[in-house]
Amino acid sequence: MRVVFAGTPEVAVPALNAIVDSPHELVGVVTRPDAPSGRGRKLVASPVARRAEELGVPVLKPEHPRDPAFQDELKSLQPDCCPVVAYGALLPQSALDIPEHGWINLHFSLLPAWRGAAPVQHSIWAGDEMTGATTFRIVKALDAGPTYGVMTETIRPTDTAGDLLGRLAEGGASLLVATLDGIEGGAIEAREQSEEGVSLAPKIVVDDAAIDWREPAVRVDRGIRACTPEPGAWSTHDGERIKIGAVRIDPTHERLDPGVLAVSKHAVHVGTGTDPVRLGEVKAHGRKQMNAADWARGVRLEPGTRFGDA
């Protein structure tokens, strides 16, 4: 099939590479416009755009896919199908109708669970033991289109959202190509999603990532892992935000009040609603990421110091 791939972040690149290596003909790529990045806020092309340029494939960067000029360009490429991974813009029906076989999305959950922008983060935060990826045909309703195929993936006890998303991106790339193969050969048919088991996964923003040390340790651990690497779990010390990396629940340590820090020579523990957790790495404002014990020595924590307003 002639395909136009749509995607933007690094997580979409494995699927783009898998399509390049498949029998399907990649005739174009759609991605978000260049965006400011870094301290200089210079405009930078998306990871998908950079990879497409390396491949010498036409790259379309519409401000919005409803733009008539974009839709005319897309029609000129004559795609049979548009596979999608984390494109990042809502597609109007006029764009959805252009390819004969529609826009086929690779979504990182077992639909109908976790429809939305942050399925991997919400799955970890909720304590799911299993997740996966689903291919489905995009319709106007949020992640509600008929599905083609699934893959499953175990959520490991130490998985961050970055860890899990990396594995799903690689495994999902093969699933997406297999879906395109099946559509072309007529070997698979889309099935309507169940109306039961629907859950939503809205984008997690910085304010959502504030750690509530009053919660049980398992909930604190899940929340930190769900927000790693983005947007980054955080608490406050001396009026400034401190990014908190992965922690380890330590039931052998004496109980501490929520948010209270206990510092020893090689470790920093923080109280929660249940067992304390041992901090791994932290990143203070304007500083590099470092071991929590090194940070504690540098700021000379007083006994009874408490994170945030816990």
The amino acid occupying position 243 is K
- In angstroms, what is the C-alpha Rg of the chain? 22
Q: Which of 211, 182, 169 is nearest to 18 (CA)?
A: 169
The amino acid occupying position 82 is C
What dihedral do alpha carbons 106, 108, 114, 119 form, nearest 10°? Answer: -130
Q: Which domains does the chain have, with CATH numbers?
A: 2-185 (3.40.50.170), 206-299 (3.10.25.10)
Q: 291-298 long-range CB contacts below 8 Å, 24 or more apart?
A: 292/267, 292/268, 293/263, 293/264, 293/265, 293/266, 293/267, 293/268, 295/242, 295/268, 296/261, 296/263, 296/268
Relative orientation angle of helices 161-185 and 119-126, to the nearest 10 degrees: 130
Relative orientation angle of helices 13-20 and 161-185, to the nearest 10 degrees: 30
Phi, psi of 288 (to 5 degrees): -80, 160
Q: Are strands 277-279 and 268-270 parallel, antiparallel or unpaired?
A: antiparallel
| pTM for the predicted model, two decimal places | 0.94
Answer yes or no: are the C-beta atoms of 304 and 262 closer than 8 Å.
no
- Per-residue model confidence as pLDDT tens for the chain (310 residues): 999 999 999 999 999 999 999 999 999 999 999 988 877 778 999 999 999 999 999 999 999 999 999 999 999 999 999 999 999 999 999 999 999 999 999 999 999 999 999 999 999 999 999 999 999 999 999 999 999 999 999 999 999 999 999 999 999 999 999 999 999 999 999 999 999 999 999 999 999 999 999 999 999 999 999 999 999 999 999 889 999 999 999 999 999 999 999 998 899 999 999 999 999 999 998 889 999 999 998 888 887 899 975 4
Q: Are strands 281-284 and 290-291 parallel, antiparallel or unpaired?
A: antiparallel
